[in-house]
Amino acid sequence: MIEWRNLYRGVLMGTSDIIPGVSGGTIAVVLGIYQRLIEGINGLFTREWKRHLAFLVPLLLGVLLALWSLSGVIEWLFDHYPNQIQFLFMGLIVGIIPMLLKKSDYRARFGVQHYVLFILAALLVGSMALFQEGVAETITSFDNGTTFVLLFLSGWLASSAMILPGISGSMLLLIVGMYPTFVYVIHNLVIAALIPLGLGIVFGLLIMSKIIKYFLERYFHQTYALIIGLVFGSLFVIYPGFNQSVLLNVVSVLLIFTGLYAAYLLGKLEH
């Protein structure tokens, strides 16, 4: 039976996927469906593919709906209120860290190796903040093989990151100069570009999901230590600094608390 409540979950994931610095994998963790998501993608090629498809189809529809409908809005918000939007997502991410710690049972299970993994993951993601300067030009011509390959590799890179909590696929696209093109293609439904981009996303999801499933099954607590580090490190990437306007800074602080409360509500809704 199709799980239609995954439609709203997909909308939340798709919304986060289009925000540079915010991970769709992080939102999947918040919603309590991360492990199920990994199992579902891997289960598409098993005898229980219908059950996994019933879980994934509404989730995918929600993601696509959010990506298409919000791409124009996101462009406008980032042009006019970039700091405030990022403070909102900072609050959301801070709010989920206690839930991750509880799920990992860190007090009883974590040792030196887990904290080392946490620190390394946080440093890895946090260091991405050094590469965020500058916005590349938007590619609007999609009639040559080089662009086709570039879009395929961009889709692969983005989807591999999107499924990892704490690592933003959109942010990686921003780093490699493909984010403006990504938003343009989705907002304008450029079919010639969506085909290679979509193929790259599919291949990235299939391969990365198998890797994550392997580690969750064999190294559960180590994997969670890594995930918590990735989520924590993403805060340094998202932090935009404050404006000169006192009013906008007040709004930013209020949005942090809004994000914290939203994470609390999401946790209660799912559990």
Q: What is the pLDDT of residues 87-103, one digit of tens each?
A: 887 887 788 788 778 87
* pLDDT classification of 196: cutoffs 50, 70, 90: very high
C-alpha to C-alpha distances, 48 to 35, 41, 257, nearest whole angstrom: 16, 11, 42
Query: Could you tell me where the beta strands, DSSP code E, fall in 29-73?
Result: none
Token pair listed for 150: 């570039």
- Integer Cα distance of 108 and 178 in angstroms: 43
Which stretch of 82-96, 187-201, 203-217 has the lowest confidence by average pLDDT? 82-96
pTM of the model: 0.67
Question: In this structure, are residues 10 and 61 in contact, taking their beta carbons and an 8 Å threshold?
Answer: yes
- Integer Cα distance of 113 and 213 in angstroms: 20
Residues whose CB is less than 8 angstroms from the CB of residue 244 and which lie 6 or more positions away in sequence, other chains included: none
Phi and psi of 245, rounded to 5°? -75, 125
Q: pLDDT (tens digit, 9 = 90+) per residue, 201-213?
A: 888 888 888 888 8
Mean pLDDT of all residues in the chain?
81
> Residue 17 half-sphere exposure, CB side, CA atoms within 13 Å?
31
* Size of the chain in residues: 271
Token pair listed for 185: 């293609």
| Nearest in space to 23 (alpha carbons), one of 81, 92, 75, 74 | 92
